[in-house]
Amino acid sequence: MRIAVVTQELHRSGGTERGTAEVVARLAQEHQICLFAHRWDRENNSNICFHRVPVMPWPGLLRFLSFYWMASRAVDTAARRHGGFDVIYSPGPNCRQVEVCTAWFCQARQDELLRSGKLRPAAGSVSDWLRLLHRKIYAATVTRLERKFYKSPKLRSVVSPAQVLKDDLVASYGIEPERIVVAHAGVDPESFSVAQREALRAQARAELKLREGEFWFLFAGTDWVRKGMLTVHAALREAPQARLLAVGPYDPASWKRHAERAGIAGRIRYLLPRRDIIFYFAAADALLAPSVFEPFGLIPLEAMACGLPVIITPPMGVAEIATPEDAVILHRADNAAELAAAMRRVMEDSALREKLARNAPARARMHPWDAIFRATETELLAVARKKHLAADKRR
């Protein structure tokens, strides 16, 4: 097939970004890909032709809207010049012509959370207020666009990496359930393994200056509100021996002030994201992922593949495939006392840590990227066949 792939960025620096990169790389092994993106970290594949899409770089909302508009134009232009595409694919609402989509998020849930005012520290500066205002406007605007996108007659099929996300899309946007195919996201065992983590551990601990005997939890993600950082702060107060490596892509000033007021600032290290997140897996002793909602949760699954004990919550796609034998699964996402108890248990119970480290890699290996790739390819093929049949009937 000749597939148009439309995505703002294609690289492996974030969780969902790695998911998209895995699917596209596998598609490119068997099909011709025309990539419409603003940024592409090239990999060794000759089946991808790149169409760079310009965007307004800042703020995030204008970046999103400008890409949507410019990508829609670019796809139309390329289709006229080169005779069209068999199918147009996108990980999310990235242009108006999308026919098959992998849904990695439900913006309506984010909009609901921001409107509630829960799970975020109080804004303490003009910068905080402006950032919060932008996030609210972004969530509300993109929610409206997603609602229109998912109801478009051009969109034939949606692939969801988890049942929990499918349920959100149906409830929030009224999508017919039969249009959504669930295929769990996966992990690359060559990139994430116990052996690699163990080989990196001494170097990572030394570079981060983590002392012997200190127990460090890892918390990583782009959205600290949804991922439960406020709950983590409260839990740290009840687990005084715990320390936290907090990885995020933006200035965490408001979170730092909240940590200072809570008396836990001295036990938190703020770090920038790395392409090789396994470096942080190697440095840490366990992973915290108490998300209030999570379309899947690639980072916990990748951590499990490396033998790192993880604490997760039920409203996460990864919780659909994990068991109490290979992960600590909380009952509630926003219960700080329960999270603190789980943290203390993981710190104090070496037998538990050994069990999780032994069982989790096997569980993760049961879920490679094949499932979501094959589901996506199947939907792309089905749409392409229907288009060709319709074209033959018109002729």
What is the per-residue pLDDT for 44? Answer: 77
Residue 379: is its pLDDT beyond 80? yes
CATH code at 2-185+369-394: 3.40.50.2000
Contacts of 395 (CB under 8 A, 6+ apart): none
Is 320 exposed, middle or buried, given 0-12, 13-18 or 19+ CB atoms closer than 10 A? middle
Residue 394: is its pLDDT beyond 90? no
> Using an 8 Å Cβ cutoff, are 349 and 369 in contact?
no
CATH architecture of 194-365: 3-Layer(aba) Sandwich (3.40)
By mean pLDDT, which of 86-100, 174-188, 381-395 is the weakest?
381-395
What is the per-residue pLDDT for 336? Answer: 97
Where exactly are the structural domains of the chain?
2-185+369-394, 194-365
Residue 250: is its pLDDT beyond 80? no
State pLDDT tens for residues 156-204.
999 999 999 999 999 999 999 999 999 999 999 999 999 999 999 999 9
Residue 249: is its pLDDT beyond 80? no
pTM of the predicted model, to two decimals?
0.94
Three-state SS for the chain is: CEEEEECCEECCCCHHHHHHHHHHHHHHHHCEEEEEECEECCCCCCCEEEEECCCCCCCHHHHHHHHHHHHHHHHHHHHHHHCCCCEEEECCCCCCCCCEEECCCCHHHHHHHHHHCCCCCCCCCHHHHHHHHHHHHHHHHHHHHHHHHHCCCCCCEEEECCHHHHHHHHHHHCCCHHHEEECCCCCCCCCCCHHHHHHHHHHHHHHCCCCCCCCEEEEECCCCCCCCHHHHHHHHHHCCCCEEEEECCCCCHHHHHHHHHHCCHHHEEEECCCCCCHHHHHHCCEEEECCCCECCCHHHHHHHHCCCCEEECCCEHHHHCCCCCCCEECCCCCCHHHHHHHHHHHHHCHHHHHHHHHHHHHHHHCCCCHHHHHHHHHHHHHHHHHHHHHHHHHC
What is the per-residue pLDDT for 197? Answer: 98
117 φ/ψ sector (left φ>0, alpha ψ -120 to 50, else beta)? left
State the chain's mean pLDDT as an integer.
95
Q: How confident is the model at residue 391 (pLDDT cuts 50, 70, 90)?
A: confident
State pLDDT tens for residues 313-342.
999 999 999 999 999 999 999 999 999 999
State pLDDT tens for residues 27-56.
999 999 999 999 999 987 778 999 999 999
pLDDT > 70: percent of the chain: 100
Distance, in Å, from the CA atom of 387 to the CA atom of 87, rounded to the nearest integer, reads 8
Distance, in Å, from the CA atom of 138 to the CA atom of 132, rounded to the nearest integer, reads 10
Q: What is the mean pLDDT of residues 214-233?
A: 96
Identical topology for domains 2-185+369-394 and 194-365: yes
Residue 285: is its pLDDT beyond 80? yes
What is the per-residue pLDDT for 234? Answer: 98
